[in-house]
Amino acid sequence: MHSAVPGPDVTIGRSLLRELARGGDLISSGWTAAALGALAVALIVVAVLRRRRRRRSWPWGWGAGLATVLALAVTANAVAGYIPNVQSLQTTLSGWGLAPAPRLSHGTAKPVPAGPGQGAAQAFSVPAPDSLAMPTDAVTWVYTPPGYDPAGSTRYPVVYLVHGSPGASGDWFAAGDVPHAMDVLIKAGLVRPMIVVSADVNGTGPSDRDTECLDSTTGGSKVETFLTTVLVPWVDARFATATDSAHRVLGGFSSGGFCALDQGLRHPDLWGTVLALDPYPSPGSGGTAMLATHAQWLTHDVSTYAATMTVDPNQHVFIGVPAGSQMPAVKAVRAAAQTLLDRGGDVVLDEVVGVGHTWTMARFTLPYALVWANGRMPTG
């Protein structure tokens, strides 16, 4: 049975899609995987020939094994789309605490205009009260659009993006390729200049790497409170933002997609638009660790409360899922989308063809979601 939820009426031309797909290098190229595979075969042949001649062959065997491992790793990365280039690798490693946060080629968010046609991106530390038990080393990434002028009269919409689990804030600026995608979409006139914020929603205590953006009642972090009362005011105070909910977007992928859906639906006065990319319908095991009772867990289960919540017809909800997927979580998300639509919500469901639950899906779908969100925003 096909869902009656409408899909997004968004068209992105082929030439623009090719431009959006740029940015990868050797570590995400199928050609690199093929070359490494061919090298592995050649080394195996050399190792066999040397062994038959009773000459030392183990270095060639080890080389063949290493080339095989690298070929498999590059192939997996090309399919998953997690790390499109070396710069993204450094950004991702910085999120894991294994490397310093790099300055992206798009520049830094300083109170000066960015380069022609390029936005700016920089990592920040957002202080949080000790009572929220948030990590003290968390990093928040911020993109400001080409021509951004904090002293000017323009007030910019803000898109907040949440990473999955395991993950970190740098994922959207690495695997998600947000700065490049925003530059392309703005230049093409498909979205107005926007600020993009990617926060770290990892916490401390129970379920520290899978908080589901919840306020823990078992001694962990208060992530929901951090997002709503710390991060948004910090961004509005530091950047030239449009501070009404109609110009504020919350998005995410995977468990970050659940976060966007749950937090967005719970706070329509704060988040005017929700972009949930392959979200889970419930807080899952992470929520079980974060919350003391099942009753508390159910208050965050979108599948449960969609039928009884007060639906705000002025809130806009974009949900992207892999086309044809019969996974229970995806089927539950489809059902919740239909329920919200039937109860008067502005909901669209994008069935994304040819991708699974990977960062390739997130990176491919985000531009469509952003164009759709841009069309839902007031022009003033």
Instruction: Give per-residue pLDDT as tens, 349-359.
Output: 999 887 788 88
**How many other C-beta atoms are found inside a 10 Å radius of the C-beta of residue 15?**
9
30 with 113, same domain: the answer is no
As given in the structure block, the two tokens for residue 2 are 């096909």
CATH number of the domain residue 257 falls in: 3.40.50.1820
**Banded model confidence at residue 82, pLDDT cuts 50, 70, 90:** low
Contact yes or no for 274/231 (Cβ under 8 A): no
What local confidence, expressed as pLDDT, does residue 4 receive? 67
198 with 296, same domain: the answer is yes
Q: Between 174 and 265, whose confidence is greater?
A: 265
What local confidence, expressed as pLDDT, does residue 85 receive? 65
Please give the helix or strand (H or E) that residue 320 lies within, else none: strand 316-322
Instruction: Write out pLDDT tens, residues 208-234.
Output: 889 999 999 999 999 999 999 999 999
50 with 112, same domain: the answer is no
66 with 88, same domain: the answer is no
User: How many residues are recorded in the chain?
Assistant: 380
Instruction: Write out pLDDT tens, residues 89-105.
Output: 665 665 566 766 544 33
For residue 190, CA distances in Å to 133, 243, 257 come to 40, 22, 23
**Banded model confidence at residue 81, pLDDT cuts 50, 70, 90:** low
What local confidence, expressed as pLDDT, does residue 106 receive? 30
Please give the helix or strand (H or E) that residue 211 lies within, else none: none
Instruction: Write out pLDDT tens, residues 266-275.
Output: 999 999 999 9
224 with 292, same domain: the answer is yes
Selection from 163, 298, 160, 318 nearest residue 231 by Cα: 160
What local confidence, expressed as pLDDT, does residue 28 receive? 73
What local confidence, expressed as pLDDT, does residue 244 receive? 96
Asked whether residue 3 is domain-assigned, the answer is no
Asked whether residue 301 is domain-assigned, the answer is yes
What local confidence, expressed as pLDDT, does residue 30 receive? 78
Asked whether residue 321 is domain-assigned, the answer is yes
Instruction: Write out pLDDT tens, residues 52-79.
Output: 888 888 888 899 899 899 889 888 877 7
Alpha helices in the chain (DSSP H): 14-21, 30-52, 58-80, 86-95, 170-174, 178-187, 223-225, 232-238, 255-266, 284-290, 294-298, 302-305, 328-342, 359-376
Selection from 105, 100, 81 nearest residue 90 by Cα: 100
68 with 102, same domain: the answer is no
Asked whether residue 274 is domain-assigned, the answer is yes
For residue 297, CA distances in Å to 132, 234, 265, 286, 339 come to 19, 29, 15, 10, 20
Q: Which domain holds residue 52?
A: 26-83
Instruction: Write out pLDDT tens, residues 151-173.
Output: 999 999 999 999 999 888 888 88
Asked whether residue 224 is domain-assigned, the answer is yes
**Banded model confidence at residue 112, pLDDT cuts 50, 70, 90:** very low
64 with 92, same domain: the answer is no
**Banded model confidence at residue 17, pLDDT cuts 50, 70, 90:** confident
For residue 318, CA distances in Å to 8, 101, 274, 323, 351 come to 8, 31, 6, 15, 11
**Is the sign of the CA dihedral 368, 370, 373, 374 positive or negative?**
negative
Q: Between 8 and 299, whose confidence is greater?
A: 299
164 with 304, same domain: the answer is yes
| pLDDT, mean over the chain | 87
Asked whether residue 245 is domain-assigned, the answer is yes
Q: How much is the pTM?
A: 0.81
Asked whether residue 372 is domain-assigned, the answer is yes
Q: Which of 83, 116, 132 is the last residue of a domain?
A: 83
Contact yes or no for 180/22 (Cβ under 8 A): yes
Total domains, the chain: 2
